[in-house]
Homo-oligomer: A and B are copies of this chain.
Amino acid sequence: MSDEAPLDGEPADTHEAIMMATFAALQKHGYPGISIQRIADESDLTKSTFYHHFDGKDDILLSFVQYMRDYFERGYRIESAGDPVGDLKAYITISLGEYPAPEGTPDAGERIGTYLELRSQAIQNPAFREEFTEMSADLVDYLAEIIQTGIDAGVFRSVDPHRTAEFLSATLEGINLQQTTRTDEPVGLLREELESYIRSELLVDDAAF
């Protein structure tokens, strides 16, 4: 997978072409309407190419979850500001999809919707649950490290970094769930209260956020 083509741009290889077609098909049909044929229809590849690379629909979708995981993790690294307060801001901005998408590509809201639609499959599907458990552990570890760095640097209070990271991460997914399943766009109000929590619970100097 290339560093430059996450979910958009030109695919670097067949695997990436399949992932991009999977994303397009999920956007168009949603998880319940997905099929290998419909994924193939979104690409220049034949159905047999898909069966050559994957065991079936669930195998492709699990691979797509890993692809999204790489995509988010790369995003966090690219946006990293190099200081704990800036890194925390970048984490929130990327998690809430509040950054501009390249022209002609699906917007961040659509990516988050697809992510949550797949995540909800983990409620019933144990293989998805394993995958999302690992994904959450990686994201929480990344955020806990930012918080620990901020504590060591004296800009964050001495909270439990892991517990705070788990809470922030769960809250961000809760905000995204509200935003993608409601018509009244509550993200602005929710982000205000999240920042208020961060200022009073985490920051030593609350003007820094």
User: Which residues of chain A have a CB within 8 Å of any CB of chain B?
Assistant: 30-32, 113, 116-117, 119-125, 128-130, 132-133, 136-137, 162-164, 166-167, 169-175, 177-178, 180-184, 186, 189-190, 192-194, 196-197, 200-201
Contact = CB atoms under 8 A, between A and B. Distances in A.
Contacts of A172: 174
B117 A124 contact: yes
A149 to B, nearest CB: 19
A163 B197 CA distance: 12
Q: Which 6 A-B pairs have the closest CB atoms?
A: A174-B174, A120-B120, A122-B181, A167-B193, A30-B124, A170-B174
A181 B175 CA distance: 16
A123 B129 contact: no
Question: DSSP class of A's interface residues: helix, strand, loop or mixed?
Answer: helix
Identical copies of this chain, number: 2
Nearest to A175: B170
A181 B117 CA distance: 12
Contacts of A32: 31-32, 121
A121 B171 CA distance: 20
A142 B167 CA distance: 23
B113 A181 contact: no
A166 B186 contact: yes
Given A170-B171, A174-B175, A175-B170, A163 B181 contact: no
18 contacts: A30-B125, A119-B177, A120-B177, A120-B181, A129-B182, A133-B182, A136-B178, A164-B193, A166-B186, A166-B190, A167-B190, A167-B193, A169-B178, A170-B178, A170-B186, A172-B174, A197-B201, A201-B201
